[in-house]
A and B are shown apart, each in its own frame.
Chain A
Amino acid sequence: MVKLILLGIWMVITPMLCAYGFARPGKRYRSLGLLPMGILFLWASFQLVSVPFILKEADYGVLKTVTVLIWILAALYGAFRMVGDRKTLKEELVNGLQELKSKDALFLITLILALGAVLFQVFMAYRLVYADGDDSYYVVMGSIAESNGLMYTVDPYTGQGFGGLELRHCFAPFPIWLAVMSSLIRVHVGVAAHSMLPLILIPVTYLIIWKIFRILIPEKAPLGVLFFAVLQIFGNTSIYRNSTFLLTRTRQGKEALAEVVIPFFFLLFLQIMKELKEQDKRPRFPYFPMILTVVAACLCSTMGAFLVCILAGCLGLLTGILYKRYKLILWTFLCCLPAVFYVLLYIKLV
């Protein structure tokens, strides 16, 4: 029970408070969701701090202290703003409940069914084991950091030293982030990876999907989420699909990329297009969430930097051209520069 409370503090409350600082009521990033943005904040900040530490072969303990300090400061700032906004938050909550009460029966039934489908997946992720060989690399890399303080210098498969840095994977240190989280939750890295992370990441994915359907078809969003959830539960048509990664490899950075970062990037562009559509409102480019997403993609997988650039390139180009907002293409490109930097660094060093 204590571990679950700690999980709630470090993977729900802390990220939400971190995100609150830049997504307060009435602010433009509010609609993107506090928890998904908070999780991306944790990942992006960790990526920025950890890669130099790893490349310098610095101590894992110091890295942990620095990143946790950043998260605590960001969360304190968010908490401070939240106290100031308590009246607005109360109003927002009351309005939300009233809006829910005004919905028809079909909306509520599909909402309950969608929630049930999500909880079912979370329960199955806890109850069932999916034996995936890649865990013997990723989970163990985190365990080594936590037990020996070493990052990417020991072969996780055997425990032999690499005789230097393992450059192929060290630019995407998601396992090290997992190790930090496990130490904050006070559980073994294996337990954090297999039993705890899915409890958070699966709902985070569905929060993003909910936000996407709220833009696509607001009055029928729960039905959209329900269909999406059924597609995931019955998505075992191949081992390569993102739905397979969501339900079988939730603890790996690849899953976080496929089912959190990429859908969030998609949500960002839908939000941009929604604002462009509302002609009376002059939209501003969401620099901050976009940079967070790009950097978070780099943490999840080495290929994340590459994928996010392709996604941004295609969506940025289409949106910019079709809405005749050519500057948007430039802003999108600028936001992708961190990923370009990581790709170039990877090409140079590997």
Chain B
Amino acid sequence: MPETFLILKEYFGSILFLGSYVLSFAYLCVTEKKKEIRIALVYYPAMMLVLFLLPPVHKLVSAVMNDTAIYYRLLWLLPASLTIGYAGVKVISELKNKWIRIPAIVLCLCVLVGTGDYMYDNPYFSRAENRFHIPGAVQLICDAISIPGREVRAAFPPHQVMFVRQYDPTILMPYGRNIQIDGWDKFPEQYGFYEAMSQPTIDCKTVAEYAVETGTQYVIVHMYQPLEGTFEEFGYQAVANVDDYVIYCSTGSELFSLW
């Protein structure tokens, strides 16, 4: 199957949703008489789909954007929800009996719900702990280590990396979320430290060596994180416990005296 078909399939995600769009499109193809609506919801999407599926267009867009992973965005130009919504309204409008319309609306809504997937069941959703929409622990750790008017460098547990600088851009990091996307080959200088912090059992010596090498003043680990050795042996002292996390500060840093 050509790659563009696979992208199309992945974009719709569910055969039921794709099916409801195809049905709505076919229904409008056959029944719609108004020229402007035929152009907007029949001819234009057909033209768009043909363009999208053509491998040369795929190659051209990917080459211009220098990225093959974003080709699916062309499908944002396809008015799928509008077509399904309009087709549903059109079906209901054509019912002569006013009293049949209400159960028909309910039936249509049931079909839309049944062919879809509830957005807020997505596992990436969670209850907001603050207006920054970041984990409360990250907020507390950042508040503990940041100093007004200057930058500090801290190594956070990998799962917190993406939130830290959203809250406080004055906290620099020896590795960032880029390492989680692009991996070691693009950022070899960051990868060693990141990998050391990602181990089930953290080797304090390795982490401390990377921390010294990168000028990282703080290392943050979960209080129940299994450790091999102690950070104290390698020049990092626990200075605070914040919401299940231990903050270690370099004893050689001028920041250590502030604790």
Q: Note whether A and B form a binding pair.
A: yes
Residue positions of A touching B, CB distance < 8 A: 106, 110, 124, 126-133, 135-137, 139-140, 143-144, 147-148, 155-160, 168, 187-188, 190-191, 194-195, 209, 212-213, 215-217, 219-220, 223-228, 230-244, 247-248, 254, 257-258, 262-263, 266, 269-270, 273-274, 276-277, 301-303, 306-307, 310-311, 314-315, 318-319, 322-323, 343, 347, 350
Pairwise interchain contact A232-B171, C-beta atoms closer than 8 A: no
Q: How many A-B pairs with Cβ below 8 Å?
A: 260
User: By the criterion CB–CB under 8 Å, are A233 and B118 in contact?
Assistant: yes
Report if B5 contacts A (CB, 8 A): no
- Report chain B residues within 8 Å CB of A220: 89, 92-93
Residues of A within 8 A of B89 (CB): 213, 216-217, 220, 223-224, 227
Query: In the complex, what residues of A have CB within 8 A of residue B102's CB?
Result: 106
Q: Which residues of B contact A231 (CB under 8 A)?
A: 81, 84-85, 112, 116
Cβ of B109: which chain A residues have Cβ within 8 Å of it?
A: 226-227, 230
Interface flag for B191 (CB, 8 Å): no
Find chain B residues with CB under 8 A from A254 CB: 73
Determine if B6 is an interface residue (Cβ-Cβ < 8 Å): no
Q: Is the CB of B113 within 8 A of A234?
A: yes
Q: Are A224 and B165 in contact (CB under 8 A)?
A: no
Binds A, one of B174-182, B218-226, B239-247, B250-258: B174-182
Majority secondary structure, B binding face:
helix
Best-buried of A143, A190, A270, A322 by chain B (most CB within 10 Å): A190
Query: Which of the segments B8-16, B196-204, B205-213, B227-235 contacts the partner chain?
Result: B8-16
Residues on A with beta carbons closer than 8 Å to the beta carbon of B13: 237-241
CB contacts (< 8 Å) of A110 on chain B: these are 105
Which of B47, B80, B125 neighbours the largest number of chain A CB atoms within 10 Å of its CB? B125
A157 touches B133 (CB 8 A): no
- A227 near B108 with CB under 8 A, answer yes
CB distance from A267 to the nearest CB of B (A): 10
Among B77, B85, B170, the most chain A Cβ lie within 10 Å of the Cβ of B85
Give min CB distance, A162 to chain B, whole Å: 12
**Cβ–Cβ < 8 Å partners of A242 in chain B:** 76, 81
Q: Does B101 contact A (CB under 8 A)?
A: yes
Taking a contact as CB atoms closer than 8 A, the residue among A126, A143, A228 that contacts B169 in the complex is A143
Q: Does B51 contact A (CB under 8 A)?
A: yes
Considering the chains assembled together, what is the distance between the CA atoms of A254 and B70 in angstroms? 11
A276 to B34, CA, bound (A): 12
Contact sample, A vs B, 12 pairs, CB 8 Å cutoff: A106-B102, A130-B124, A157-B177, A168-B66, A223-B105, A234-B116, A238-B13, A238-B14, A241-B11, A248-B122, A307-B73, A311-B77
